[in-house]
Structure 1
Amino acid sequence: MKFFDKCKKYIIIAAVFGTFTTSYIFITENKANAYEISIGDKVVAYSIEDPKSLDIVNSLEQEIKNRFGTSQFKESIAVNKVRVQEGSVVSDKALKQTILQNSKMEVEGCAIFANKKQIGLVASESEGKQALDKLKDYYTAKSGLSIKESKLKTEITYSKQKDIISNIDSIDEVVERVKEANSRFKNPVVAFELKGTEEVKEVISPGTSVTTSDSIPSGQTKVQSSGKEGQKLVVKEVVMENNKVISTTALSEKVITEAQNKIVLQGKPKTAVAGLAYLTTPSRGTISSAFGARWGRMHEGIDIAANIGDPIYAALDGTVTYAGWETGYGNFIQIKHADGVLTAYGHCSKIQVAVGDTVKKGDKIGEVGNTGNSTGPHLHFEVRVNGVAKDPIAYLNK
């Protein structure tokens, strides 16, 4: 009997322990370990059971109310403690985005149109204007200019539009979308005109000074000094469309270092045409290509490298016999002088004389350009005596 009593006692103890163990396991396995976030009756996310998660949810709810207005916010975000399997929760960092991406909450947003094409859907017209301001600031900073004036060139309109909150853009998303589109298309989706100034250092090309010398054989030249480039500080007004330069205008120049002219000595010419010994150099600049054979053919003049718009002068008194377009030469001027002498001036940007005009040595007749078969701004200058091309260097005296 005692044996059975003792067994009964152990059975009761085992049952109590088993019940406790089972209860402990049940409670442990079913204890809440996460937050369930729902909007209306739809569960949209599970987050880590952490006070920070509640802060994120609360701040998101307030953010939605601030962006779209309390009157539009009809469904609250509910938070409940639940037990979920490991791997079902999202991190605090991704929580806000997960809620928005999975929400079917309908809100009234504001569509932005650029030239009647939709470029974004934000919460309000105010957000649309903020996106445009950010775009303008981006292009302003990228221009490197000291901006004096800016204006929006694109027609922008707004229209209220209902959609689910996950389809609403942030301000930054609109900005990045437009920047990417502007970089891909020839005509920008949204364009700003920026006007400002910049300071740039530019090279001053040395001129060429030609002096006759008894020590140099007739018809020959010798470089006495190669010259030296100078430098100047130029203030320019620049007009840009987004990051594309539309126009540039020099406002002022300040010489930092003076250029030193190239000095060329030439032998005194032996020619029946005495006047040729006193030709005026037709344009300031550097002689970039000499008279003679070049690229397998005869170069029947000299090239004087200069800037577009630099003045061109008549080398000698005479009468204009041609002023117009000539194949290869572009805008072309020919002047007839005494004793069978002709001078010619090619690649001009402007012609400022007409056929029949009488000109004096040193008169301005045009401006340096890059017209015709030309690889860069320069003046092509020729001297012909009785139809025969002569090296102009031998007759320049300046």
Structure 2
Amino acid sequence: MRKRFKQILIPIVLLSSLAFSISSASAEEEDNVFLIFVNDKYIGTVSDKKLVDEFAEEKTRKAQREFKNLSLTTEPIRVVSNQTFHPQSDNQQTLERLDHELPVLTEGYALTIEGEEVAYLQSKEDAEHAIENIKKKYVSDKTLKQLENDKKEPINEKDMSIFDVSLSKNVSIIQKNIPPEDVLNVEQATKLIEKGTLANKDYKVQAGDTVGEIAALYDLSLEELLKLNPGLKEESKIKPGDAVHIQMYEPFVKVIVKAEKKEKEQINFQTETTEDPSLPKGEKIVREKGENGEKETTYSLVLENGKETNRESEDEEILKEPVKEKETIGTKIIPEKGTGDFAWPANGGIVSSKLGHRWGKMHKGIDIAGPSNDEIKAADNGRVVSAGEDGGYGNKVTINHNNGMETVYAHLNSIDVSVGDIVTKGQKIGVMGSTGNSTGTHLHFEVYENGTLQNPLKYVNK
């Protein structure tokens, strides 16, 4: 029994020793593996942390050769050490993924407008200069500096007193790490902000517009314009008032200038009118000539990117009072119907040519020349039915006397009446001249009765 117990005990001891040996061996095989994260994103594992450090340094050095003037770094890499049995890692795959996920950055400044990042610059000073450049497109550098030093006193510039220069939207500058390829210099950032972004607008068609002209006006190709307007074709007929969708750049921010401006303005004189029943209706006599006055008006102005968007009158100073004009107008009703008794249409003179054939053609009236003055008068009451240039007649006036009679006055140097005027017998209607087919200063005078040419000498005498 004792001997059998010994035979059982020895194998148990041997098994215990073997188990202890295996356990010790496994503990010796336990090792570290390194888990790599960028922005909390798992990238992979590596066997040695130095591989990651060296990779990041080399990527930074490579980028530094391209961006020599910038101080570069990478996004922080988080390394977690993990101890495990039989560690498994894939160095090559992890580094390849790290190359894709790990950006090279530089410390810079984002210029934001209403919270939107629109430009990145190397320094805060550069960002401030870009904003100043936008303002200096509409006001001088001197004005900006003076307003910064003393905001209470307006600055005189461009015939205005400027008291405030601001931006239409909230603009801020934020420090942050940014990709070096996104960094702009001051000039580039200024142009980007001024140019702005594409915005959809409606264009109101004007008279004479074509589809192609509208596209060219907004730097759009014909294809781009048609794409914005489904159903519109190059040959489409558009009419004034139609709306055409277009795209145009709008600046990210506008410069608002508030100013005051003094302008000298004319004060139109008023007219004091009295009626005279002894004067023919429509006749006017100026008794005292009027004179315009002058005033200086102070306006409060708002300009957006140089364009005036609001104007309000703040004050007026009268520099010169206007002088009222005094006139008298006639109210006497003149009959349109002629008396039937014609007056000589000139101030004296002789008949230089009579009605009849002359030079191979019919001379339809009489010519009167050599008067004491060149005033031409209506032969009777009537209404002017034509007044103006008429071919060989030159300047011509025709009067309908509303009794079947009509008279014509031709070759006038000037005309003193208009179509529709009612004239009285003896009223001046023009000045004798030599216009049209004429060989010298004279009046050509014709008379018609019920549309038939008559000899004027049957109706008038000196």
**What TM-score results when the alignment is normalised by the length of structure 1?**
0.37
Structure of higher RCO (CA pairs closer than 8 Å, 6+ residues apart)? 1
**What TM-score results when the alignment is normalised by the length of structure 2?**
0.32
